[in-house]
Structure 1
Amino acid sequence: MPLYKSISVNSQTTVKIWKIDESYDDLIAPLDLKPQSLERVLGMKSELHQRGFLSVRHLLHEFGYTDQDLYYDDNGKPHLKDGKYISITHSFTFSGVIVSDNEVGIDIEKQRDKISIIAHKFVDYEFNYLNKNAEDYIRNLTVIWGVKESLYKLFATPGMLFREHFLVIPFMLQDGETVAWIDYKGKKYRYNTGFLEFEGFTCAYVIP
């Protein structure tokens, strides 16, 4: 399938989402991969991960980039050679890329009941406004996880903890946006966040 969704967040920032329903062969055929990218994809044990990796390269093409324009730093954070900021995600049958003139982060997560089992590991302040008995509890938790994962990708700083250093301001699912903070080593950073739901998945992204 071609591009699933494109979101113009602001004049400097765009999100693009791909629904991965092509085969591995169909995805890899048109791509010109760097040797290290080809080695990486061939070394993946799961075809789902391979297809996720390759679909991200198709999303790069949607932005006018190729695999050659992308590189990773020592923390595993992706960068573009032209200096624009990028963040990448894939989960099961969806992948997403955000490109901006500013630091950004993105995450896609499948909405699954088991997130409630690990909620205590990434939720602290947010328990003040979450209702565990509400029918949208899993969806709300997935938004919080996605926002915090996006913050972590943006900062790419070892030692940051979702529960202790990130907090998500109360939100309504229908609003599709909220504010998040990082409180780390005596400094506070504020971020605007957006989120959307589709086909049992949640995509969240953060921008300064």
Structure 2
Amino acid sequence: MAAPVFLQLNDDCTVLLRPISEDESVLQAGLTLTTSEQEDLGSIRHPAQRVEWLACRAAIRELIELRDLPYWGLQKDEFGKPHLVNLPWFISLSHTAGWAAAVLHRSRPVGIDIEPIRDQFQRVVPRVLSNEEIAHANGDSARLAVYWCAKEALYKLYGKRNLTFREHLHVEPFVDNADTLTGHVRLTDHQEQLVIRCFQIGPGLLAVAY
């Protein structure tokens, strides 16, 4: 089993990527869930997805406690974005088969995504990438995975609805294996340039936008 990985992106931003080795009962025993979290977990029927959901909360709890802060659980806003209870820090969570990830930022919104590199990214190109991004990716599975993972991180950072990957989220062309990308959220009433850190790690790729 792989070991957990901590990434300190700057003084304010820490990432934890952890393999999931526990079963549901072990993960639940280590967490105190809020009422809304209990309701959310109750709505998840697939056993593996329940484990991944719990593992994400175990990861963010570990990051909080490493900062010597109290962990009181999570609550969602009106858009479904998770926030810490009684703490002003910003978080984001992501999971895939066998892996959970969390990021904690002291002062600004943040988004995280983890993805295996797989051929199915080819099928979502027309609805996810702009014409310029499609030209740059040029059908390459690794580049398509970076675009997808980076845009998922941007989407989670923004955390609101009425936004599409193709029209409103943009990633500037990058060199292969680059670990720092530039992303943009472009809406009529909101324009923002963001840093995206991208790592080949764990299940395949991990991207953090901040």
TM-score w.r.t. structure 2 length? 0.88
| Distance in 1 between residues matched to 2:189 and 2:125, nearest whole Å | 25
- 1:119 is matched with 125
**Secondary structure of residue in 2 paired with 1:45:** coil
- Structure 2 counterpart of 1:14, one-letter code: T
1:143 to 143, 146, 153: 146
8 Å contact kept, 2:32–2:73: no
- 2:35 is matched with 35
Q: When the two structures are aligned, how many residues end up with a matched partner?
A: 203
TM-score w.r.t. structure 1 length? 0.89
Query: 1:132-159: per-residue Cα shift (whole Å, max 9, x none)?
Result: 2xxxx21211111111111111112211
| RMSD, matched Cα | 2.0
In the TM superposition, residue 131 of structure 1 has moved relative to its aligned partner by 2.3
Query: 1:22-78: per-residue Cα shift (whole Å, max 9, x none)?
Result: 222222222222233233323321111111111112112212167633211010011
Q: Within 5 A, what are the aligned runs for 1:1-208?
A: 4-63=4-63, 64=65, 68-80=72-84, 81-100=86-105, 101-124=107-130, 125-132=132-139, 137-185=140-188, 187-207=190-210
Which ranges of structure 2 fall in alignment gaps of 5 or more residues?
none
8 Å contact kept, 1:16–1:96: yes
In the TM superposition, residue 90 of structure 1 has moved relative to its aligned partner by 1.0
**Secondary structure of residue in 2 paired with 1:22:** coil
**Secondary structure of residue in 2 paired with 1:193:** strand
* Identity %, equivalent residues: 25
| Distance in 2 between residues matched to 1:131 and 1:2, nearest whole Å | 33
- Structure 2 counterpart of 1:122, one-letter code: V
| Distance in 1 between residues matched to 2:124 and 2:111, nearest whole Å | 22
8 Å contact kept, 1:57–1:66: no
Closer/same/farther in 2, CA of residues 182 and 34 from structure 1, 3 Å limit: closer
- Structure 1 counterpart of 2:29, one-letter code: A
